[in-house]
Amino acid sequence: MSPWRTSPVRIVLIGALATAALVGCSRGGAKSWQGYLEGDFVYVSSPLSGRLEKLSVAKGTRVKEGAPLFELERTSETDAQRQAAQQLDAARAMLEDMTKGERQDEIDALAARLAAAKATAENSKLELERQDALFKADAITASDHDRARLTHDADQAAVDEAAARLATAKLGSRPDAVMAAGATAKAAADAVAKARWSVEQKSQAAPADALVYDTLYRVGEYVTAGNPVVALLPPANIKVRFFVGESDFSLLKNGDHVSVSVEGHDGVLDGTVDYLSPEPEYTPPVLYNRDNRSKLVYMAEAVFPAEVAADLHPGQPVDVSLPRQ
């Protein structure tokens, strides 16, 4: 969340903390600054809309990574997934049928036709040989001899045609038709994957160990696509935000360790500075002369190890100081 998008109450709190920081820094002794705990929330939503059917968590509880959070109604998505699976089965069956060729009984019928054509061609060949002998002996006319020759040629052509039909039947469909069937099967598989994704997106799980900071819908309410249903706060997302006077700002740099005292928390926590504001904040629009330079306040942020931040809560006031040497 941007530091500029704050509520009026937080602005008053920040102003008070900044003033207290300036007062504290003006005194002698160890440097100390005041601030508060802030959290970067994780808002879990579904990319699809639907009625909230099940809410598996309650506000204020802690969940482990992978724990179910909520589930939206998904009747239409499961129906679409089932339909896509059936279309995939049909497309794959068609592709397999095209690559196998004709059925066996059809192949057997074509083989029988080829055998019959060969027998006819053999008979016409013998007849042509007899006609050749008779023609050479001038026992028949040229037209009778030509008729026998043409008959044998036609029978041999029938043999070639029957053989080609049998070979084609064994090969299956044309390559371009097989390619088209393969593309149809792939598109059907993609449709199944998309339908499965839609079903899966109707239920969401925790992306990390976290505190359930808030639940934003009740069971039975309609949730628009992209609207968060659960707000989570992982311990690693808790940080301290504090304010440093202009004269002390040079004492801090990214990676420095700071000691953090939390109201109601025993002991001092070790934090690591991970952000320093490049510009002064919450400063009145006055000239930076010698009299008002002490009014400049810079925001800084520090983070904790996840195991340290597990029991911390946003909004708690804190005191931040440099570790004792």
66-97: pLDDT as tens digits: 999 999 999 999 999 999 999 999 999 988 87
The neighbour count for residue 126, using CB atoms within 10 Å, is 11
310 — pLDDT class (breaks 50, 70, 90)? confident
143 located within any domain: no
Residues 6+ apart with CB under 8 A from 244: 21, 25, 33, 251, 252, 297, 298, 299, 300
Q: What average pLDDT does this structure show over 98-105? A: 74
Single pTM value for the model:
0.66
In a domain, 236, yes or no: yes
Instruction: Confirm whether 25 is domain-assigned.
Output: yes
In a domain, 30, yes or no: yes
Does pLDDT of 6 surpass 80? no
Total of domains in the chain: 1
pLDDT digits (tens, 9 = 90+) for 183-227: 999 999 999 999 999 999 999 999 999 999 999 999 999 999 999
Q: Give the tens place of pLDDT for each residue, 139-179.
A: 888 898 889 899 999 999 999 998 988 887 776 667 788 88
Residues 6+ apart with CB under 8 A from 288: 296
Domain assignment present for 123: no
For residue 283, pLDDT beyond 60: no
Among the listed residues 255, 309, 260, the one whose alpha carbon sits nearest the alpha carbon of residue 36 = 260
Q: Is residue 86 a part of any domain in this protein?
A: no
Q: Find the CATH number of the domain harbouring 249.
A: 2.40.30.170
Cα separation of 4 and 13, whole Å?
Answer: 14
Mean pLDDT of 243-272: 90
pLDDT in tens, 18-29: 444 444 444 344
In angstroms, the CA 100 to CA 209 distance is 54
Enumerate the β-bridge partners of residue 63: 210
- Looking from the CA of 40 toward its CB, the CA atoms found within 13 Å total 11
Domain range holding 69? Answer: 8-73+210-321
Q: Indicate whether 164 belongs to any domain.
A: no
